[in-house]
């Protein structure tokens, strides 16, 4: 394990993951739902972008001018290659946060994203990130943070400490080799009937899940020198030092309180006026393990008429097959039921997979029920915010180049997201579907041949994939065409 770069793991690259919350296009719909004024976002920065997949996708299919920074040269090279494939022209930097803060050529940004980073760096580097935000967030801008949260991560703190100390003290080997030794030691501790793990079964369950996780993910999640799940109040204090306040959750399902809070939870939170105490209490009520949040310099509450007009002007597009939209959403806490007639009317209008304004979907129905259904469908990833038509052709060309590159790498299974120029976002896609898509884009038409083209890479009998290939050709293939992705 490298102890260079303030204890951050540098000998093992991160996974090729995509994080939808780093898409600035999600901001308007979410802030409007919270009753807040939504800014125009023209410049954005991703701090600690890993392999750069999210940045490359969002740069390829939007008009936003992207900058990014990461500590690992290998990450920067990979991100730069993805960006070059699409022809997006992003500015990608290789620097420590101390070096980044010292630069005088970094502009102001309307959106700054940090996914996971706050939990993985030292308190000193968290302070540097706060100062970067203070200097480089443009007026009216938004900061996104995603980080491990307390108290939901509490049970994992001692387990992580045991594993990290075991890996640190391993005499030789790469980080991944030391992780294997640490996991084996942890299993031995469980087999020895460790009292802590017996009395904290959640910790034992979490450890067992780690044993099957991608070692690259584990290296960066748990085996840096610093790993600190944060209480909401601690994040609020950190970003408060940069002049920011909490805007709202960036996780849209959190806005559907019937899915996440019991009636007693909602009643308790309604009595708490202080936003920091309210969110801290919420995390105790829900045992949150990870938070995704938006922060602003000032919470500008939109006037009702202004908010209504902005909301009805929002453009959305159906991003799943019509038949895949559920009639209700359910969790162990509760469910959200849709008016079946109104839902059917809305889906009929969205069924062409073309952008429609909320006003078009509402037509003569001016009730809040339409707004609720549209936002709920967005929260459930059934619809996406649609970009303007102004620069769609350029975005479509970049998306096609990016997606062709993804298909070239599908046999290795590294990239599992396609770029959608209509939404300006990424669409997570399974390796099997990418292999089917690769066959179709090369002119393969018969279901048996499509299945055979994928079978070798998946190490599965071709006949076991024929029905899946047929469904992909009949349902997903036309959808991807409608969304201008291929």
Exposure string of 344-379, with b = 16+ CB inside 10 Å and e = fewer, is ebbbeebeebebbebbebbeeeeeeebbbbbbbbbb
Residue 451 lies in a domain: yes
Residue 366 lies in a domain: yes
Residues 204 and 241 in one domain: no
Name the band, by pLDDT with cuts 50, 70 and 90, for residue 76.
very high
Nearest by Cα to 57 from 26, 79, 27: 79
The percent of residues in the chain predicted with pLDDT above 70, rounded, is 98
Residues 43 and 123 in one domain: yes
Residues 45 and 183 in one domain: no
Residues 97 and 8 in one domain: yes
Give me the pLDDT at residue 191, please: 86
Tokens of 137: 């967030």
Name the band, by pLDDT with cuts 50, 70 and 90, for residue 237.
very high
434 lies in which domain range?
392-421+428-482
Residue 41 lies in a domain: yes
Residues 54 and 138 in one domain: yes
- Whether the per-residue pLDDT at 3 is higher than 60: the answer is no
- Whether the per-residue pLDDT at 128 is higher than 80: the answer is yes
Residue 401 lies in a domain: yes
Name which of 51-65, 205-219, 247-261 the model is least confident about: 205-219
Residue 8 lies in a domain: yes
296 φ, ψ to 5°? -140, 165
Residue 302 lies in a domain: no
Residues 71 and 127 in one domain: yes
What's the distance, CA 108 to chain centroid? 23
Name the band, by pLDDT with cuts 50, 70 and 90, for residue 364.
low
Residues 144 and 48 in one domain: yes
Give me the pLDDT at residue 224, please: 83
Tokens of 52: 């750069």
Residues 106 and 165 in one domain: no
Name the band, by pLDDT with cuts 50, 70 and 90, for residue 265.
very high
**Separation CA 302–CA 37 (nearest Å):** 5
- Whether the per-residue pLDDT at 2 is higher than 80: the answer is no
The total of other beta-carbon atoms located within 10 Å of residue 274's CB is: 9
Residues 13 and 64 in one domain: yes
Residue 357 lies in a domain: yes
Residues 280 and 313 in one domain: no
Give me the pLDDT at residue 1, please: 37
**Separation CA 150–CA 172 (nearest Å):** 33
Number of domains within the chain:
4
Name the band, by pLDDT with cuts 50, 70 and 90, for residue 252.
very high
- Whether the per-residue pLDDT at 264 is higher than 70: the answer is yes
Residues 198 and 268 in one domain: no
Name the band, by pLDDT with cuts 50, 70 and 90, for residue 367.
low
Residues 130 and 174 in one domain: no
145-185 pLDDT tens trace: 999 999 999 988 998 999 988 888 876 778 888 899 899 99
């Amino acid at each position: 394990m490298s102890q260079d770069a303030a204890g951050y793991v540098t000998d093992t690259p991160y996974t090729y993951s995509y994080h939808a919350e780093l898409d600035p296009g999600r901001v308007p719909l979410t802030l409007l739902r919270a009753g807040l004024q939504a800014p125009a976002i023209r410049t954005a920065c991703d701090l600690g972008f890993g392999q750069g997949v999210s940045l490359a996708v969002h740069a390829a299919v939007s008009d936003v001018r992207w900058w990014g920074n990461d500590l690992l040269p290998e990450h920067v090279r990979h991100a730069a290659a993805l960006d070059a494939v699409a022809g997006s022209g992003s500015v990608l930097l290789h620097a420590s946060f101390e070096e980044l803060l010292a630069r005088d050529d970094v502009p102001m940004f309307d959106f700054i994203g940090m996914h996971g980073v706050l939990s993985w760096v030292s308190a000193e580097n968290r302070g540097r990130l706060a100062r970067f935000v203070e200097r480089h967030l443009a007026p009216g801008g938004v900061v996104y943070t995603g980080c491990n949260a307390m108290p939901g991560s509490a049970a994992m703190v001692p387990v992580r400490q045991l594993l990290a100390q075991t890996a640190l003290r391993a005499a030789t080997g790469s980080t991944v080799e030391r992780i294997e030794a640490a996991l084996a030691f942890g299993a031995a501790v469980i087999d020895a009937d460790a009292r802590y793990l017996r009395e904290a079964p959640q910790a034992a369950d979490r450890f067992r899940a780690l044993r099957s996780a991608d070692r690259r993910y584990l290296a960066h999640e748990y085996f840096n020198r610093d790993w600190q799940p944060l209480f909401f109040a601690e994040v609020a204090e950190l970003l408060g030092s940069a002049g920011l306040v909490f805007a709202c959750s960036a996780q849209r399902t959190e806005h559907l309180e019937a899915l996440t809070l019991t009636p007693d939870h909602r009643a308790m939170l309604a009595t708490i006026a202080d936003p920091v105490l309210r969110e801290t209490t919420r995390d105790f009520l829900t045992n949150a393990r990870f938070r995704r949040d938006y922060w602003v310099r000032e919470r500008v509450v939109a006037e009702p008429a202004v908010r209504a007009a902005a909301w009805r002007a929002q453009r959305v597009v159906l991003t799943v097959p019509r038949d895949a939209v559920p009639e209700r959403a359910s969790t162990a806490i509760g469910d959200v039921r849709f008016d079946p007639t109104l839902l059917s009317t809305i889906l009929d209008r969205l069924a062409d997979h073309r952008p429609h304004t909320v006003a078009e979907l509402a037509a003569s129905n001016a009730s809040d029920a339409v707004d609720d259904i549209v936002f709920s469908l967005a929260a459930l990833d059934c619809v996406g915010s649609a970009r303007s038509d102004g620069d769609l052709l350029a975005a479509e060309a970049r998306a096609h180049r990016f997606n062709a590159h993804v298909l070239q790498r599908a046999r290795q299974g590294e990239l599992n997201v396609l770029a959608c120029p209509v939404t300006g976002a990424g669409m997570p896609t399974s390796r099997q579907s990418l292999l089917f898509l690769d066959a179709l884009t090369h002119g393969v038409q018969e279901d048996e041949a499509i299945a055979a083209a994928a079978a070798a890479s998946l190490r599965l009998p071709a006949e076991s994939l024929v029905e899946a290939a047929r469904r992909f050709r009949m349902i997903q293939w036309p959808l991807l065409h409608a969304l201008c992705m291929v």
